Structure 1
């Protein structure tokens, strides 16, 4: 693996960094940031800024107007976008849309892509991904899925209850995971305004950075035509891996940017703040935290790069993406937690961006699989290896 960045990628990285610093960070704290993410009007304003800068949906293929970034290139650009909590929304690389765009490019039919994918890449549509269910339904164990899709003529009728559905409020279309009568999981596409789809409530959460927040979604006899099956019948879990392995990694990339932002703020404070006759950072306890931050940031970056490189070689990377997700989510969380400690009172107030980064990031150790589930999955694969 060659860690050298091409001149073109360096230029794109620097252009993204400048865009985030000059255009996006000044908008943090806008009253249109709600407890359930930026409003749609605010989102459209942010999207317009990225479009003007030539940075809208850069991970999409060139044939659809994106930059066709490789996974390694995404690692560089997404980290820069994540430096502001609004950056991923502006550049249309936020979850769940980023993962859904990747999945739709890989699996959807040309007709489905024209209907949903193309306007989504243009920033005109948002999407959500409906898989998680309340107990006793599917959570970390997708095999417990209770949502059903029953054949009715040429259509399917879908019934079930989903929750923690990120971005559902205000989304234009949804990818629904449901079980058909043979017990196999299948993905279905539907407009969110279809009869039978109802958002029961938005859930309060620590994070406030995802557009549309997290919702409880009830599906009652939602009629989905056969031509709105995403991919093939019975291959829903396989397609979920097509989506989840890269999506786990892009979470790591974006949150790395936020962790780096917190570290930069704390480092600047430690360089200037005086305590007990010297700079705060000259005290060993603070200096060690800054050094640990640097090590955690670089460890995360290297795991992201290596897994991204393997994905670019065509590897599935289910194991590697689990490993990277656990390491990055925990290391990046440690960085932000230390930054709160370094900042003292300012770390637990809105005087800097760190408090919001802290509350937004805590869920990262749970999203796309809790650390414990990934460790368990990795352990099973290790134990199944031939000695």
Structure 2
């Protein structure tokens, strides 16, 4: 039996990580969600509707593209891109948002609540709510609202209520805190649609399963294109949904090396990065156990990343587990390296990538030089429309950019 069939355990643990450490009043609601998902995951009508949505609304399958120009410029390995930026709404997030919204519909819920960092999850959930005729409430830190203004506009145009979060660091962690507090008051009519492979069980498993469509598509596409599996599969990791989605297609192939790329920000001190697995330790955050960054009091530490979707002091429990057993290699890319990759893909391939995805591109560019003759498949998890105002206003148009 394959890895995906055996992990997590029935109570949501990946080794020592995962679980559901939640207030007693939430326990019956998360149990209801878990039971509904396990039932619907094998229900033919649910599966048929989700497949219809993926094909006729989302535009799946998304292609795999050989980044020929970038590969030639690096002069080493051949780089390929899984083009999730071409998925409707411009990122991988719609893969699980449509699944979660459809689940909510089958459960008789009327409202979707969520947090968002870069805004991609918020846009995707607002899109799903509009599609299914549901209400939508998105919590977003004020710092991220300022950085990701285009996505705030999109959410509002789609009919979502955007709730600014003004406490703490005013970024993703606080947005999660705020969304959880709101959900506590609306559990009968709403579902909290968590935006990554994080949170209490069943969300790490459920979001991974919805996102695995990327990995299975990519495996078939890469084999058809090249006749082989890729030597390396690379994806950025904040919470880690795009990475677990792509990894799912290759996780039982021992000859494929999996790489997760964390945000190294501007330095090694707490508050200057969000490289959770690189510098963290086991702990609990937002109702689950994972590797996390802690301050001197053992609380979630302040974090930083140029990419709003990656600045989270925790990481998915499955990533924590895959790190401890050595199945996935976790590295990092700095803000500076990420910007260089952002400009490189724009100039060499005609693709403006999301800053989140640019971390994976940066890592692949470094790897390509030292792995001549090998192949690297990168998850281009989102497009950079949301980032262009922030990048150009703060860093310019890359006129001085050089590989």
Judge same fold: TM > 0.5, yes or no. Answer: no
* Higher gyration radius (CA): 1
Structure of higher RCO (CA pairs closer than 8 Å, 6+ residues apart):
2
TM-score (norm 1): 0.30
More helix by share: 1
TM-score (norm 2): 0.29
